């Protein structure tokens, strides 16, 4: 929940004049998106989203993100389409920050995801993973093993403030993951993944998935790891209970379009642990390093401690409703 950078009305008008999208009628900061400043920009042609990229997003990565959205949108995925200015460029500067305008997507994100949403999500994820086959760019995942290790070092001393014994248990988990995490190219299909497919990044309209947003963590990694992130984000109830119906819907809908191979099935519990650790680590870091006045309510790292512990107890992917995985 953000808007860190304000844009001046005079600067806004000059900025929008570089595009062929009509005249500004309104521009309001949106209380969504933790990483960037987002505005709902209404012109006489309709609504758009204006994003000012904040420091957590590296400027050098922006062409990757914008090209990815353009690539996916061109293949019919309901994701924002970057709008190019009259000079043909989609990325420029406003209010001292890198900035872009993308198409507005209809829909509302589900506050309480239901099994039907997970079916829609699984189908869209498979389409997305199939659609990147010919995407020419790549971006390393800086929030994989090495990144988790770095965050852990930064949090190690104070981790037990959040939960006694947490530092020790994270250390052991990192050792386990380092020992078993597959090398890229070792039989697990890889490609560009979204890597942050939480419910607030997915819109629905009349129960149909109508939008996928916020591609600013997208990177190259195992497709099954993307599924593991979604599993954690969508298939646990607010009380922490795992909902196997949601997981089954997610995997079945996905597998109908892109079946998981045996190695992906075998590694799914490990990926789920890694995915839990990834969000645990960033939440822990943000929790211990709150910025006064940042207007972001930090998310509870303990939610992901519980999810991690759930996956540690799993024997195989059959626990996720994948019946052929025993």
Q: How far is the CB of 197 from a second copy (least distance, A)?
A: 17
**Residues near a second copy (CB under 8 A):** 1-3, 6-10, 12, 24-32, 40, 42, 47, 104-112, 203-205, 293, 295-297
H or E, element range at 264: helix 262-288
Tokens 């942050």 sit on residue:
196
- Considering the complex, state which of residue 9 and residue 157 has its C-beta at the smaller distance from a second copy: 9
d(CA 283, CA 286): 5
Q: How far is the CB of 106 from a second copy (least distance, A)?
A: 4
Let me know: does 167 contact 156? Beta carbons within 8 Å: yes
Q: How far is the CB of 30 from a second copy (least distance, A)?
A: 5
- Considering the complex, state which of residue 30 and residue 130 has its C-beta at the smaller distance from a second copy: 30
d(CA 26, CA 123): 35
- Considering the complex, state which of residue 6 and residue 316 has its C-beta at the smaller distance from a second copy: 6
How big is the CA angle at 81 (ends 78 and 84), to the nearest 5 degrees? 170
d(CA 319, CA 326): 9
* 8-state DSSP, 299: P
- Considering the complex, state which of residue 42 and residue 257 has its C-beta at the smaller distance from a second copy: 42
- Considering the complex, state which of residue 10 and residue 183 has its C-beta at the smaller distance from a second copy: 10
Q: How far is the CB of 55 from a second copy (least distance, A)?
A: 18
* DSSP three-state, residue 227: helix
* 8-state DSSP, 205: E
Q: How far is the CB of 80 from a second copy (least distance, A)?
A: 13
């Amino acid at each position: 929940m953000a808007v860190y950078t304000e844009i001046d009305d005079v600067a806004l008008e000059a900025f929008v004049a570089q595009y062929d999208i009509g005249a500004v009628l309104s521009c309001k900061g949106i209380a969504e998106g933790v990483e960037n400043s987002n505005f709902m920009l209404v012109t006489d042609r309709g609504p758009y989203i204006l994003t000012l990229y904040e420091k957590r997003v590296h400027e050098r990565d922006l062409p990757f993100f914008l090209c990815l959205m353009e690539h996916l949108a061109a293949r019919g995925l309901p994701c924002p389409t970057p709008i190019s200015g009259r000079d043909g460029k989609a990325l420029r500067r406003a209010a001292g920050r890198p900035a872009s305008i993308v198409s507005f997507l209809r829909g509302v994100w589900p506050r309480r995801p239901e099994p039907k949403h997970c079916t829609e999500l699984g189908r869209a994820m498979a389409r997305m993973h199939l659609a990147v086959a010919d995407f020419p760019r790549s971006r390393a995942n800086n929030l994989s093993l090495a990144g988790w290790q770095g965050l852990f070092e930064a949090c190690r001393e104070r981790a037990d403030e959040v939960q006694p014994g947490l530092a020790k248990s994270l250390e052991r988990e990192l050792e386990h993951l380092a020992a078993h995490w597959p090398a890229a190219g070792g039989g697990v299909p890889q490609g560009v993944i979204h890597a942050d497919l939480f419910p607030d990044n997915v819109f629905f309209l009349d129960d149909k998935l109508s939008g996928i947003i916020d591609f600013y963590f997208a990177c190259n990694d195992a497709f099954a790891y993307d599924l593991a992130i979604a599993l954690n984000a969508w298939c646990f109830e607010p009380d922490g209970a795992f909902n196997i119906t949601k997981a089954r819907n997610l995997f079945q809908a996905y597998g109908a379009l892109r079946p998981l191979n045996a190695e992906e099935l075998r590694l799914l519990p490990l990926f789920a642990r890694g995915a839990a650790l990834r969000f645990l680590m960033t939440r822990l870091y943000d929790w211990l390093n709150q910025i006064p006045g940042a207007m972001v309510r930090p998310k509870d790292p303990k939610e992901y401690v519980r999810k991690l512990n759930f996956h540690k107890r799993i024997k195989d992917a059959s626990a996720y409703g994948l019946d052929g995985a025993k």
